[in-house]
Amino acid sequence: MERPSVVFGETASRGMLRGAGQLADLLGLTLGPSQGHVLLAKDAGSERYERITDGATLARRIIALPGATEDVGAMLLRQLAWRVRQRVGDGSATAAVLAQSMLADGQRFIAAGANPMLLRKGMELATAAAVRAIQAMAEPLAGQERMAALATAACGDPELGRIVGEIYETLGPEGVVNIQEFMGPYLDREYIEGSRFRGTFTSRFFLTDANHRLIQLLRPFIFVSDWNLRDVAQVQPLLELVLRQGEGRPLLVVSASQEGPALAALLANHQKGVLQCAGVTLKGVGDDLRAALDDLALVTGGRFVFRDAALDPRDLTLADLGQAARVEVDEDHTTVFAGAGDRKAVRQRVLALRQQMAEAQDVEEAQKVRERLGRLGSGIAILKIGALTEKERERRRAQAEEAVRVVATGQSGGVVPGGGAAFLAAEPAVRAVPAEGDLALGVAIILRALEEPMRRIAANAGMEPSVAVARARACGPEWAFEARSGEIANMRTAGVLDSGSVCTAALEMAASMAAMVLTTGAIVLHRKPELSTEP
């Protein structure tokens, strides 16, 4: 059996720093409206190069560096970039350049004799102060122009940003945006009625679109229950019913859980082509789960089959099943388009929930009711992404997904001045953190890192970074280098905005990753590490 090797001390830390720095330099090229394009050479295929302008996508394409210790640092930064993207939809490149600055300064202080644990504590204190300052300067995201500006800042496409802004202005904060690709050189949108529930598929083998990890069912019958499906006897009558009377339409099974022989029976029918079907579980427990299942049954016109109803599965009829024009299931949500439920009954429940929210005794209770209202009362927009080639459609789809996520995040966390201005405006709060000795050095690490997003945006646009930062400081808290005009401008006035949640998430996660690297004393290296495309 091959034994792993262990790398200690400065050799380990310097190697990780080099690897993280290499990947951060790459991701930093994608920051700002004047970002550089990264061409990725492929090993095979007719298209030998891929053009990438998104930091998270670029990070995901890098799966290994040649040096073992360098690879550890690069993979930690890769994971940081992707986790920021998953959490708030944007900010991967920002988090990378923040972490790179923190690592470089931290390593320099440690080499000079600073205590790594005290540095970490100082970084945590400074990060908390900066986050509070950024949250305090956040303003609600309202109005089509502001939403369009935020979407454009995220995707770099003014036309796409304008349409995303229009969609959210039309639907409101509880609306749902569904992205579809089509053959054509333009963008379009369509508004339809629909509902979205938090929940995902029970097996990836139900996927109908593996690339985007989606299940798409047209005109399905929908069984809704809080049963724990384990035995074949629980699903076999349902499968036979839809197969016999369902006219070839698919079956969606939504229940509290699906496992063992019951799940195997659903998969076998699906994979063998006997009956297209899919299994879904909604998120939640107890009363919250039952409320979600009841709402789903209502909007689809089906029967919510209670666990305590003592119903024999053989007694089910098609009338007990809900229906919809289309259902899409991804890793986070189940979206129902044009459910067959009674609209009057839905409106009555919406009115009852609004009354319940008005009478709610605490914030948590009101939030739960508001979530139910969102899935019952909001509409769905179809954002149609057109391009003439498959690669271009994929690129524009990724842009659209990022713009939609950022606007949705901005509506919950507010918006702050963009272009790195929010980070620079947080400097006074960080300077006010009481710290001495090595704690103060940890604070200084964060203080210096707050400049880095603006510095990198300026560098990508051909401007001297130090000059851009100095001129922005001289003008005031909301000023930064505006890369499109090449001038120092007030970011709010110029319409250059960032999501407050994206900024704080990028800063918090970058500081966490940098602190972990700076306090690492050894690396265990396996001789044959497993490669993974998952960050």
pLDDT in tens, 309-324: 777 888 889 999 999 9
Token pair in block for residue 303: 């029967």
* DSSP SS3 for 294: helix
Q: How far is Cα 369 from Cα 374, in angstroms, rounded to an integer?
A: 9
Q: Are 292 and 282 in contact (CB under 8 A)?
A: yes
Residues paired with residue 189 on neighbouring β-strands, in sequence order: 383
The pLDDT assigned to 1 comes to 39
pLDDT at 510: 96
Least confident span in 13-27, 62-76, 87-101, 460-474: 62-76
Does residue 507 contact residue 130 with C-beta atoms inside 8 Å? yes
Work out the burial of residue 350: count CB atoms within 10 Å of its CB; fewer than 13 is exposed, 13-18 middle, 19 or more buried: middle
CB 322 within 8 A of CB 339: yes
Least confident stretch, 2-6, 224-228, 240-244, 500-504: 2-6
Backbone angles phi, psi at 477, to 5 degrees: -65, -30
Predicted confidence (pLDDT) at residue 335 exceeds the cutoff of 50: yes
How many other C-beta atoms can be found within 10 angstroms of the C-beta atom of residue 355?
10
Collapsed DSSP state (helix, strand, coil) of residue 251: strand
Domain ranges across the chain: 5-42+49-139+415-525, 193-341
Q: Which of 30-39, 443-452, 499-508 has the highest mean pLDDT?
A: 443-452
**Residue among 154, 57, 163, 39 nearest 407 (CA):** 154
| Residue 497 per-residue DSSP state | E
pLDDT at 39: 67
Rounded Cα gap, residues 501 and 421, in angstroms? 15
What is the DSSP-derived secondary structure letter of residue 139? B
CB–CB of 252/278 below 8 Å?
A: yes
- Could you tell me the pTM of the whole model? 0.68
The pLDDT of 32-57, averaged and rounded, is 64
Task: Classify 172 in phi/psi space as left (phi over 0), alpha (psi -120 to 50) or beta.
Answer: left
d(CA 250, CA 222): 9
Query: How far is it, in rounded angstroms, from Cα 289 to Cα 281?
Result: 10
Is residue 120 a contact partner of residue 47, using CB atoms and an 8 Å limit? no
| pLDDT greater at residue 198 or residue 61 | 198
**What per-residue confidence (pLDDT) applies to 298?**
94
Q: Give dist(CA 176, CA 339) in Å, integer.
A: 15
The alpha carbon dihedral of 57, 63, 66, 69 has a sign of: positive
**Ordered DSSP codes for 422-457:** HHHHTHHHHHTS---HHHHHHHHHHHHHTTHHHHHH
Higher-confidence residue of 210 and 127: namely 127
Say how far apart CA 128 and CA 461 lie, in whole Å.
31
What is the distance of C-alpha 514 from the center of its chain?
A: 22
Q: What pLDDT sits at residue 361?
A: 65
CA distances from 299 to 37, 58, 197, 341, 434 (A): 45, 40, 11, 4, 56
Lowest mean pLDDT: which of 116-125, 363-372, 381-390, 456-465? 363-372
Contact 481, 457 (CB under 8 A): yes
Separation of CA 79 from chain center: 14
- Alpha-carbon span 7 to 404, nearest angstrom: 43
Task: Tell whether domain 193-341 is in CATH 2.60.120.560.
Answer: no
Quote the CA–CA distance of 129 and 123 in Å, as a whole number.
Answer: 10
5-42+49-139+415-525 has which CATH code? 1.10.560.10
Evaluate the CA torsion angle 200, 201, 203, 206 in order and state its sign: negative
Residue 54's pLDDT band (boundaries 50, 70, 90)?
low
CB 85 within 8 A of CB 494: no
Question: Tens digit of pLDDT for each residue in 268-299?
Answer: 999 999 999 999 999 888 888 999 999 999 99
Which pairs from 85-89 meet CB under 8 Å and 24+ separation? 85/55, 85/56, 87/505, 87/509, 88/405, 88/406, 88/409, 88/499, 88/501, 88/502, 88/505, 88/506, 89/154, 89/401, 89/402, 89/404, 89/405, 89/406, 89/408, 89/409, 89/499, 89/502
Share of the chain above pLDDT 70, in %: 89
Q: φ, ψ for residue 226 (rounded to 5)?
A: -100, 20
- pLDDT higher than 60, residue 392: yes
Quote the longest CA-to-CA distance of the chain: 77
